[in-house]
């Protein structure tokens, strides 16, 4: 191979070549470069076989450094660049390509007389900015791999560029590619790009490499109609969009990202052209259903994770995917039921809240009415506050959107029967199977007035004979007296009263009262806490006298009417005083507890519901009204009689005189009087 001639140019000096190299010299010429290009002119003459391997970088840097110092002394504002020229022989041998890789370049040199270049290689340098190549308008291949470029620029005139390799740089944003409409390959791997953007106009692009960047979402791919390969390995991708809009995409590499569910890549199932995909290294690839699900939804795939797919794998995937679909369908159904249950309970809770607020509002208004002044000019001085009306309006409007939901809910879960809302109590009237009813051990009441529960306790013990645990939440348990109603059950081992919606729990001694009143049940737990013998003794000490006082204060007929005939004799014995001896009451309590029978004294502690109490009050009111009317009529009649008597006393003397006078006048003529009398008798007989 004949080396190129080493001819010093005019106004230049020859730089010495390396020892033993007679065919390679570096010529340095000082020249003024317009518009920020006032560096040096390098003429490199070397053997064609070594042009792509080395450029005598040592001499280039030495000459460049010396001239740069001189240029800086002359003008501080000018920027100098090396100027690179090749000999005619080198241009003939490699007319359309130039390789400057591993030359420790920090800037792009000015390349004169190379407008016909089609391939330019700057691999493995230290270039920070793309510049000085705008004159290479025939350039087709530009390789700037492994440099220090932070921004894409200086490419607007390279309209013929087909391959742009910018991998392993410091680029943070995709930009300034507007004029590269013929671009076929774009390699941006190993940068710091966090978003895909500004590439929608690259309709001719076939290969896009964005591996090892900072991408989290794959989007903005519309318009890449020719794209066949997309590399997104080693990113932070968790969701994919727009991939199904790429009509020619065949290979998609998504290895080592953050894809955790098939829903994140669901759009891939709509791609008809995709034939090769990799998802290894993602959380989704660790799932047992991963391969079957992917193959089932992407029947067109030929390779998955770089492995060819067999027909047997497709068949197994179809079967497994079908089973998975059934499981998901059932799971979705259960989720819908749970959501419906949740919404229904929320609706019931809202209705309960409205009801309680209305009760509180009415109570507040009644209290205000009791304290209001007398009516003025025939009208009450009190006026409903605007706040009260608006509150009621707000509460009503709050549930309009839930009006389609059920107002109650009955749910049997395991051995627990949950009743939400007062309407759920109607379930006790259903025809429960013996087997189902027998499994119920716990009955939970939620959002139901306690007084309404009391009315169905008898049905409860008949329908669910094995129920031994009652739960109350949001039931308005307010007074200790309300626990008396539970005595009508035939069996109970546990009682749970939730503090929410049950103010009675705020009483310190409520548990002891329950133990005392329901002593015959032998309760084992109250609110999940074991009942001890000390608790039972303490309950007797606190409330033992209460039963005696209650039984001694009631009339005997009232007491006897509250018991059955079998217990009347026992209670009569108690009333006669035979049970008043020391220790007799406790003995009776112990006997009753052992027999599971309610003691006579405790039986006098009853609870009357509000409705029943209101009915009694109404009945008493009616009787009172009747009595008042009856007495009023009697008084009026007596007054009339008295007035008539007084009038008679006044008129009687005169009346007596007139009677005597008339009698004397009639019998004055004896014969005439006798005839008149006989005539009257005759007339009466006729």
The pLDDT value recorded for residue 624 is: 87
- Whether 267 shows a pLDDT value over 90: the answer reads no
**Mean pLDDT (the chain, rounded):** 76
pLDDT at position 676 is 81
pTM for this prediction? 0.45
- Backbone conformation region of residue 421, classed left if phi is above 0, alpha if psi is from -120 to 50, else beta: left
More confident residue, 528 or 313: 528
Of the two residues 353 and 64, the one the predictor is more confident about is: 353
| Cα gap 598→588, rounded to integer Å | 10
Closest CA to 275 of 234, 238, 228, 233: 228
pLDDT in tens, 324-344: 778 888 888 888 888 888 888
Report phi then psi at 444, rounded to 5. Answer: -110, 125
pLDDT digits (tens, 9 = 90+) for 638-686: 999 999 998 888 888 888 888 888 888 777 777 888 888 888 888 888 7
| Half-sphere exposure for 40 (CA within 13 Å, toward CB) | 23
User: What is the enclosing helix (H) or strand (E) of 390?
Assistant: helix 386-398
Collect contacts of 52-56 with beta carbons under 8 A, ≥24 apart.
52/94, 52/99, 52/101, 52/121, 55/100, 55/103, 56/15, 56/17, 56/18, 56/24, 56/26
pLDDT in the model for residue 27 = 32
In angstroms, rounded to a whole number, what is the distance separating the alpha carbons of residues 576 and 437?
45
DSSP 136-194: -TT--EEE--SS---S--S-TT-TT--EEE--SS---S----TT-TT--EEE-TTS---
Convert the pLDDT of each residue in 76-123 to its tens digit.
Answer: 345 677 887 777 787 778 888 888 889 889 898 888 777 788 999 999
Above 90 in pLDDT, residue 26? no
* For range 173-190, the mean pLDDT: 92
Of residues 289 and 238, the one with the higher pLDDT is 238
Q: What Rg do the C-alpha atoms of the chain give, in angstroms? A: 54
pLDDT confidence of 445, banded at 50, 70, 90? very high
214, 252, 345, 401 from 397: Cα distances, Å: 49, 53, 18, 8
Residue 412 β-bridge partners: 417
């Amino acid at each position: 191979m004949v080396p190129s001639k080493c001819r010093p140019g005019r106004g230049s000096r020859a730089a010495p070549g390396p020892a033993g190299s007679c065919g390679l010299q570096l010529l340095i010429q000082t020249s003024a470069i317009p518009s920020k290009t006032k560096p040096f002119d390098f003429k490199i003459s070397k053997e064609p076989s070594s042009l792509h391997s080395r450029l005598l970088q040592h001499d280039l840097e030495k000459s460049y450094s010396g001239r740069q110092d001189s240029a800086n002394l002359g003008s501080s504002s000018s920027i100098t660049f090396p100027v690179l020229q090749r000999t005619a022989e080198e241009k003939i041998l490699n007319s359309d390509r130039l390789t400057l890789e591993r030359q420790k370049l920090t800037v792009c040199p000015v390349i004169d007389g190379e407008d016909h270049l089609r391939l330019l290689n700057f691999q493995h340098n230290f270039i920070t900015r793309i510049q000085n190549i705008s004159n290479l308008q025939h350039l087709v291949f530009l390789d700037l791999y492994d440099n220090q470029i932070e921004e894409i620029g200086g490419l607007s005139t390279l309209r013929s560029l087909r391959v742009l390799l910018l991998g392993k740089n410091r680029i943070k944003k995709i930009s300034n590619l507007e004029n590269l409409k013929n671009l076929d390959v774009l390699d941006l791997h190993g940068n710091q790009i966090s978003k895909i953007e500004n590439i929608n106009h690259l309709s001719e692009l076939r290969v896009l490499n964005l591996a090892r960047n900072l991408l989290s979402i794959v989007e903005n791919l519309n318009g890449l109609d020719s794209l066949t390969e997309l590399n997104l390995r080693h990113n932070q991708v968790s969701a994919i969009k727009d991939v199904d809009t790429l009509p020619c995409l065949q290979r998609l590499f998504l290895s080592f990202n953050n894809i955790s569910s098939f829903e994140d890549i669901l759009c891939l199932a709509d791609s008809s052209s995709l034939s090769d995909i990799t998802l290894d290294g993602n959380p989704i690839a660790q799932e047992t259903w991963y391969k079957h699900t992917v193959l089932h939804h992407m029947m067109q795939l030929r390779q998955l994770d770089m492995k060819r797919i067999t027909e047997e794998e497709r068949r197994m995937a179809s079967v497994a995917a079908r089973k998975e679909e059934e499981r998901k369908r059932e799971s979705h159904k259960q989720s819908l039921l749970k959501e419906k249950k949740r919404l229904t309970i929320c609706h019931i809770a809202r209705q309960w809240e409205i009801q309680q607020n209305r009760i509180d509002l009415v109570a507040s208004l009644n209290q205000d009415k009791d304290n209001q002044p007398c009516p003025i000019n025939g009208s009450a001085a009190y006026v409903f506050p605007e706040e009260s009306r608006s509150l009621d309006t707000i509460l009503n409007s709050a549930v309009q959107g839930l009006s389609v939901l059920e107002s109650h809910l009955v749910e049997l879960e395991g051995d627990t029967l949950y009743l939400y809302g007062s309407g759920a109590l109607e379930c006790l009237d259903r025809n429960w199977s013996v087997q189902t009813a027998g499994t119920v051990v716990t009955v939970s009441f939620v959002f139901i007035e306690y007084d309404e529960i009391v009315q169905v306790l008898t049905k409860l013990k008949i329908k669910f004979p094995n129920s031994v645990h009652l739960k109350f939440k949001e039931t308005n348990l307010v007074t200790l007296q309300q626990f008396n109603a539970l005595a009508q059950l035939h069996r109970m081992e546990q009682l749970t009263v939730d503090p929410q919606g049950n103010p009675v729990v705020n009483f310190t001694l409520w548990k002891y009262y329950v133990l005392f009143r329901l002593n015959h049940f032998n309760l084992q737990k109250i609110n999940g806490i074991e009942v001890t013998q000390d608790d039972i003794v303490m309950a007797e000490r606190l409330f033992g006298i209460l039963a005696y006082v209650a039984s001694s204060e009631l009339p005997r007929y009232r007491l006897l009417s509250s018991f059955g005939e079998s217990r009347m004799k026992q209670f009569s014995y108690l009333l006669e005083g035979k049970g008043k001896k020391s220790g007799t009451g406790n003995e009776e309590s112990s006997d009753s507890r052992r027999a599971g029978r309610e003691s006579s004294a405790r039986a006098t502690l009853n609870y009357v519901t509000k409705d029943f109490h209101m009915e009694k009050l109404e009945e008493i009111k009616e009787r009172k009204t009747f009595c008042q009317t009856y007495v009023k009529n009697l008084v009026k009649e007596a007054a009339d009689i008295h007035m008539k008597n007084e009038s008679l006393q006044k008129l009687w003397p005169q009346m007596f005189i007139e009677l005597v006078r008339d009698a004397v006048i009639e019998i004055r003529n004896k014969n005439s009087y006798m005839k008149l009398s006989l005539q009257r008798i005759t007339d009466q007989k006729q």
